[in-house]
Amino acid sequence: MTSDQPPAIDVVVTIDPDAVSVVTGLREAGMQVRETLTSAGVVTGSAAPDALAALRAVDGVQAVEPSRDVSIPPPEAPLQ
């Protein structure tokens, strides 16, 4: 790994719940798996931005998206 490589980004991946080896496949494709959410059918973790295409090609993967930030205003704001 070279030092000028862009940092890994957080990703969310929907998987076919019936695919048995999809988490192994995601790891092999370069994903650092954080959690496997079996009710939602989602795997969370991080990967290099240029690895997303490889993640999408893994058997049993349905969609791969960068994890977006979500925020609400500070408590004193009248509009929430």
Partner 1 sequence: MQDESQGTPRGPETTGRTLVLFTRNATAQAPDMLQQTAGISALMSPELGAEPVAIKDMAEDGVVYQELGVAVVDADPDQVQALETAVAGEQPVLAVEAERVVYAIETSEEAPPDAPPTAAPWPDTEIGTWGLYATGALASSASGAGIDVAILDTGLDERHPDFATRNPELRSFVPGEEARDGHGHGTHCAGTSCGSRMVFEGPRYGVATDANIHCGKVLGDSGRGGDQGIIAGIDWALASGCDVISMSLGSPVAWNTPHSQVYETVARRALDRGTLIVAAAGNESDRRNDRVNPVGHPANCPSIMAVAALDNAEKIAWFSCGSDPKSGQVDIAGPGVNVRSSWPIPDRYKAISGTSMATPHVAGIAALYAEAKGVRGLDLWAALIQQARRMDLPSLDVGIGLVQAP
Under the rule (CB under 8 A), what is the footprint of partner 1? 10, 12-14, 34-35, 37-42, 44, 62-63, 65, 67-75, 77-80
d(CA 52, CA 1): 17
Report, in Å, the least distance between residue 46 CB and partner 1.
9
Report, in Å, the least distance between residue 57 CB and partner 1.
16
Question: Is 32:68 a contact under the CB 8 Å cutoff?
Answer: no
Which is it for the CA torsion 38, 41, 46, 47, positive or negative? positive
Report, in Å, the least distance between residue 2 CB and partner 1.
27
State which residue, 3 or 71, has the beta carbon closest to partner 1.
71
Q: Strand, helix or coil at 23? A: helix
| Paired residues of 65 in beta bridges | 12
